[in-house]
Amino acid sequence: MRTTSSLFAVALLAVAGFCHATPDNGGKAANAETVLSDPSFQAQSQAYLQAMNDALATSTDPHDWVLASITNLSILSSHREAANRLLQRAAQALPDDASTQWLTVQFCDSAKRDADCDNAVSALERIEPDNAAVWMQSLQHAARHSDTVGVEVALEHMVASTHFDDHVVDVREKIVAAYQRFPLPEHLVARIRDMGPGITAQNFPYVMAGATANAIALPAYQHLIRACTIDAQRGLHAGRKADCAKIGRMLATQGPNLVANRIGFALLRVSHTFNDADVQSARALDWVMAHYPKSGANEPATAIIDFSKDWIATGSEFGALRLAMQRANIAMIPPADWVDEQSPFSERRVQEDQRRATERTAETF
């Protein structure tokens, strides 16, 4: 299937997937591909998205340029270069806006950071020196250049930080604001409603927020994992044990999304610093992930919409899942005999760490 608006299509397919989880979905999930591949629907949705993007991109308000950079990707994911240019303009006009600087960094080509990227990183370090996510950018840059000292400095800043904020909630709010200002036309709402009962022009912004935010706001975590991987046999990174334990627990308990939470537990595993309390915390998260209600009772689309709203309201993806379980009267504490097959501390995962460690014997940062 070929569509002209990638993230727009992702959002609608997500709604269709929620419908598919409901037994009496009436074939709406199967109908999604038919609607999305319809040339007339493609043309109408493309025209709507393009008109919104043009209005935002030509605005005199730099905040609108940020919104335009995001909606640009809803038109076509290959529009990243144009989105990057809009963000760089906005970053220069809004030097003290943390979420704008954060998005600028995420849109950068991290393999060849230019002056605009460096300026955005410096701005973040000035605006949010207590945000551990900010210092991950410096760690990533140092690791790519095998700069052991730079990695150590970045880790020290992360340990001294008071919180971890990857601005995914800010980005969600920006996406909602953009689509609220430019409501979905009723003729498109009617077509989309065939895929997911409950979709309206008023709540569609939350559907788009769910599909778009994670695609553009999340940082790269692999260098942090490697920096905290302790090789007991070689004594590699042994001196970072306490720092990585603190960073790991910060991400596991304060991370605004499940990716950060899971990475936090992974840090505790690869640094060999987890304890029984960490195992129980991961078990509670895995239970919620496995049992939260994945569809609404009468209007399946409301589940994804409520989830997006709850994430913004609580500032936490895990918190949003817990609210969904509360509404569905599902227990949030796993029974004693429940086996956590996804545990980040399982023997299988520990063995995988050991295997990977032997494959990276030359890695020292």
Tell me the pTM. 0.85
Residue 5 has a pLDDT of 53
The set of residues, in sequence order, having a beta carbon less than 8 Å from that of 114 and lying 6+ positions away, is: 108
Residue 31 has a pLDDT of 66
DSSP 12-63: HHHHHHHHHTSTT-TTHHHHHHHHHT-HHHHHHHHHHHHHHHHHHHT-S-HH
Residue 35 has a pLDDT of 77
Encoded tokens for 314:
């609580």
Residue 206 has a pLDDT of 87
Per-residue pLDDT of the chain (365 residues; tens, 9 = 90+): 334 456 677 677 666 655 444 444 545 555 667 777 788 888 888 889 889 999 999 999 999 999 998 887 655 555 677 778 888 999 999 999 999 999 998 887 655 567 888 899 999 999 999 999 999 989 988 888 889 999 999 999 999 999 999 999 998 999 899 999 999 898 888 888 776 666 778 888 888 887 777 677 678 899 999 999 988 677 677 889 999 999 999 999 999 999 999 999 999 999 999 999 999 999 999 999 998 876 544 455 677 788 889 999 999 999 999 999 998 899 989 999 998 988 998 888 877 777 776 665 555 55
Question: Distance between CA atoms of 288 and 298, rounded to whole angstroms?
Answer: 22
Residue 192 has a pLDDT of 80
Encoded tokens for 231:
């090789």
